[in-house]
Structure 1
Amino acid sequence: MKKILLSAALLAATCGASAQKFSYVPYEDNALMMGVTISANGRYVAGCDTEGRAFIYDTQDKQIKYFQSSKLGTTEATSDDEASIRAVTNDGVGYGDIYGKSTKFDFATGTMTALLNESIEDHSLVHFATADGTVNGGVTYDADTYVQRPYVMVDGEMQYLPEFSDAWAGYEVNGAIAFGSNADGSVLYGGVVDNFSSYPLAVWVRNRDEKTYSANLLSRRFFDGSFDLDGSQPYDQFSAEAISADGKWIAVNYHTKMLSYDDEDQGVRIARYNVEADTLEFLTCPEAGMDNYYYATGISNEGTVVGFVEDASQSRKAVLCPAGTKDVKLLAELYPTVTQFATMDSKNLNEVTAITPDGRYLQGFGYVDMDEESDCFATWYFDLEKDETAVENVETEDAPAKVVASYTVDGKTLNAKTVRKGIVINKLSNGRARKVVK
Structure 2
Amino acid sequence: MKKTFILLCMAASCAVVNAQKVTVLPNDVVNGYVYIGSALSNNGKYIAGSDMSGGIFVADIQSGEVKWKAGEDKLGAELRGVTNDGLGCGYDGPALVFDFKTGISTFIDENESIAESITPDGKFIVGSADWEQGFITHPRLWRRGDDGTYVKEALCEPNNSYLGYNSLGGSARFISADGSMIVGDLCYGILYPAVSWFLNSDETSYSVFPISHRFLNLTDDDSRPYIKFQAAGLSSNGKWIAVELTDKDSKTGTSIFGRYNTETEVLELPEFDPSVTSLTADYDEGFMAYKIADDGTMVFVAGSTNGTRIPGIWKAGEKSPRLLSEEYPEATEIAKYDENLYNTPVDITPDARYILLVGTVDYSGMPLYETYLLDTQAEGTGVEEINIEKSADLSNVKRYTIDGRRTSTPVSGVNIVVGPSGKARKVLVK
Structure-2-length-normalised TM-score: 0.78
* C-alpha contact 1:288 1:294 (8 A) present in aligned 2: no
User: Map of 1:184-223 to 2, 5 A cutoff?
Assistant: 184-196=178-190, 198-223=191-216
Q: 2:256 aligned to 240, 244, 269, which one?
A: 269
1:145 corresponds to which residue?
134
* C-alpha contact 1:250 1:275 (8 A) present in aligned 2: yes
Q: 1:41 aligned to 43, 46, 69, which one?
A: 43
1:343 aligned counterpart, secondary structure: helix
In the TM superposition, what whole-angstrom CA distance separates every residue of 1:51-93 from its partner, at most 9, and x where no partner exists?
21111111121111112235xxxxxx631xx110000111111
Q: Does 1:96 align with 2:90?
A: yes
Give 1:311 shift: 1.9
In the TM superposition, what whole-angstrom CA distance separates every residue of 1:266-294 from its partner, at most 9, and x where no partner exists?
63111110101111111135333372311
Q: 1:335 aligned to 299, 313, 328, which one?
A: 328
Q: 2:366 aligned to 369, 374, 382, which one?
A: 374
Q: Which ranges of 4 or more aligned residues in structure 1 deviate by more than 6 Å?
A: none
Give 1:388 shift: 8.7
Give 1:141 shift: 3.9
1: CA distance between counterparts of 2:380 and 2:331? 7
Q: Does 1:254 align with 2:209?
A: no
1: CA distance between counterparts of 2:256 and 2:134? 33
2: CA distance between counterparts of 1:234 and 1:274? 17
| Stretch of structure 1 that moved more, 354-363 or 288-297 | 288-297
Higher strand share: 2
Structure-2 change in CA distance of 1:388 and 1:53 (3 Å): farther
Q: Does 1:78 align with 2:74?
A: yes
2:22 corresponds to which residue?
22
Q: Does 1:129 align with 2:131?
A: no
* C-alpha contact 1:189 1:203 (8 A) present in aligned 2: yes
2: CA distance between counterparts of 1:230 and 1:353? 37
2: CA distance between counterparts of 1:147 and 1:292? 29
Give 1:306 shift: 0.6
1:102 aligned counterpart, secondary structure: strand
* C-alpha contact 2:196 2:209 (8 A) present in aligned 1: yes
1:69 corresponds to which residue?
71
2: CA distance between counterparts of 1:225 and 1:266? 14
2: CA distance between counterparts of 1:292 and 1:327? 19
Give 1:32 shift: 2.7
Give 1:50 shift: 2.2
Structure-2 change in CA distance of 1:255 and 1:112 (3 Å): same
Structure 1's unaligned 5+ residue stretches are: 1-17, 71-76, 390-438
Matched to 1:167, the amino acid is S
Q: Does 1:303 align with 2:296?
A: yes
* C-alpha contact 2:42 2:120 (8 A) present in aligned 1: yes
* C-alpha contact 1:174 1:192 (8 A) present in aligned 2: yes
* C-alpha contact 1:268 1:289 (8 A) present in aligned 2: no
Matched to 2:114, the amino acid is L
Between the aligned residues of both structures, percent identity stands at 32
Give 1:347 shift: 0.7
Q: Does 1:348 align with 2:344?
A: no
Structure 2's unaligned 5+ residue stretches are: 1-13, 145-149, 273-278, 382-430
* C-alpha contact 2:33 2:53 (8 A) present in aligned 1: no
1:244 corresponds to which residue?
235
2: CA distance between counterparts of 1:347 and 1:232? 41
Structure-2 change in CA distance of 1:19 and 1:310 (3 Å): closer
* C-alpha contact 1:265 1:290 (8 A) present in aligned 2: no
* C-alpha contact 1:266 1:290 (8 A) present in aligned 2: no
Q: Does 1:235 align with 2:226?
A: yes
1:57 corresponds to which residue?
59
Structure-2 change in CA distance of 1:216 and 1:93 (3 Å): same
Give 1:157 shift: 3.1
1:173 corresponds to which residue?
167
User: Map of 1:356-371 to 2, 5 A cutoff?
Assistant: 356-371=349-364
Matched to 1:137, the amino acid is V
In the TM superposition, what whole-angstrom CA distance separates every residue of 1:123-145 from its partner, at most 9, and x where no partner exists?
11010001111011100142533
Structure-2 change in CA distance of 1:145 and 1:31 (3 Å): closer
2:376 corresponds to which residue?
384
2:334 aligned counterpart, secondary structure: helix
Matched to 1:145, the amino acid is G
Matched to 1:53, the amino acid is G
Matched to 1:244, the amino acid is S
* C-alpha contact 1:38 1:88 (8 A) present in aligned 2: yes
Structure-1-length-normalised TM-score: 0.76
* C-alpha contact 1:223 1:238 (8 A) present in aligned 2: yes
* C-alpha contact 1:65 1:107 (8 A) present in aligned 2: yes
Structure-2 change in CA distance of 1:133 and 1:163 (3 Å): same
* C-alpha contact 2:39 2:47 (8 A) present in aligned 1: yes
